[in-house]
Amino acid sequence: MSKKIVFCGGGNMAEGIMRGLLQNGVNHPEDITVNELVPNRCEYLTKTYGVTATRDAEALIKEAHMVIIAVNPPQVPTVAKMLKPLISKKTIIMSIAAGVTISSVENIAGSDKKVVRVMPNTLNQSGDGYSAASFNENCTEQDQALVDEVLNALGQVMHIREEMFNTFTAFSNVGPMWLYKMTEALIDAGVYIGFSRTDARNIAIKNMAGVAGVLEITGEHPAVKVDQMTSPGGTTIEGLRVLQEEGFSTAIMKSVIASFEKVNAFE
């Protein structure tokens, strides 16, 4: 990509994006600057990734193709105000601060600026999982392609309407929790019926990964695959019967809805 990127904030999320960019060869260390106020954090990022981490990056911000706001939400107004005189109309401002709207950034940095709101993929260690992105009207197709290139280094990217961000947070960002708990329950069940915890873990994880792969490759509905597994009077239909009796699907749906209602309550 060879585009200059400046991170305003060098916390864990910024580090995750940076790591993905470097590991996937999207950027080189000399393309990345981190504006970070904590000296120890600057030293760590410089030594670990070879990037430029400094408390004063104003000169480099002026040259950047993209500036990523990676601070806590209460700090965004201060950062946006600092950016306003430093960046041109060509610079892309990407905010990954939770709950911060495009309009709130525009109101401070300027309505003529290119602003992108992003919810980064929380499963970036695996290279799977979606980031969400919403663009203001100043962003061109080329700008969107550049943002996609950055976010694809973390997994996959989905363009959504900004009003869908709470829904995305409740369903996608919380989503791994349901699968972690499902895997945990399967491991415990495997131990209960006689497997070692290591073997139970290996089986559960491979089954989980295998199911995801099959659904992605075939494009079939999960119900079709379950139907194919349930022979008359067999062990699979017996296990399915108990899941239905215990309200498994209803519990999952109620949990998703509860997360959705909670994230909306924060506004």
* Domains of the chain with CATH codes: 5-165 (3.40.50.720), 173-265 (1.10.3730.10)
**Residue 154 clears pLDDT 80, i.e. is over it:** yes
Q: Report the relative pairing of strands 156-159 and 52-54 from DSSP bridges.
A: unpaired
**In which region does residue 247 sit, left (phi positive, over 0), alpha (psi from -120 to 50) or beta (all else)?**
left
Per-residue pLDDT, averaged over 97-123, amounts to: 93
Residue percentage of the chain with pLDDT more than 90: 91
SS3 track for 19-58: HHHHHCCCCCHHHEEEECCCHHHHHHHHHHHCCEEECCCH
Q: Is the dihedral of CA 251, 257, 258, 260 positive or negative?
A: positive
Per-residue pLDDT, averaged over 20-25, amounts to: 91
**Residue 127 clears pLDDT 90, i.e. is over it:** no
Residues 136 and 164: beta-carbon distance below 8 Å: no
Residues 62 and 85: beta-carbon distance below 8 Å: no
Known binding residues are 70-73
Q: How far apart are CA 93 and CA 109, in angstroms?
A: 9
Candidate from 125-129, 172-176, 188-192 with smallest mean pLDDT: 125-129
Q: How far apart are CA 234 and CA 232, in angstroms?
A: 5
As given in the structure block, the two tokens for residue 179 are 């699968």
From 153, 131, 158, 146, select the one nearest 64 (Cα to Cα). 146
**Residue 137 clears pLDDT 90, i.e. is over it:** yes
**Residue 267 clears pLDDT 80, i.e. is over it:** no
More confident residue, 71 or 2: 71
Task: List the alpha helices (DSSP H) in the chain.
Answer: 12-23, 39-49, 58-63, 76-83, 102-109, 141-152, 165-168, 175-192, 197-218, 222-229, 235-245, 248-265
As given in the structure block, the two tokens for residue 37 are 């106020």
Per-residue pLDDT, averaged over 9-34, amounts to: 93
Per-residue pLDDT, averaged over 156-184, amounts to: 95
**Residue 264 clears pLDDT 90, i.e. is over it:** no
Known binding residues for NADP(+) are 70-73
Candidate from 148-152, 176-180, 184-188, 261-265 with smallest mean pLDDT: 261-265
Average pLDDT, the chain: 94
Per-residue pLDDT, averaged over 47-59, amounts to: 94
Q: How far apart are CA 60 and CA 31, in angstroms?
A: 10
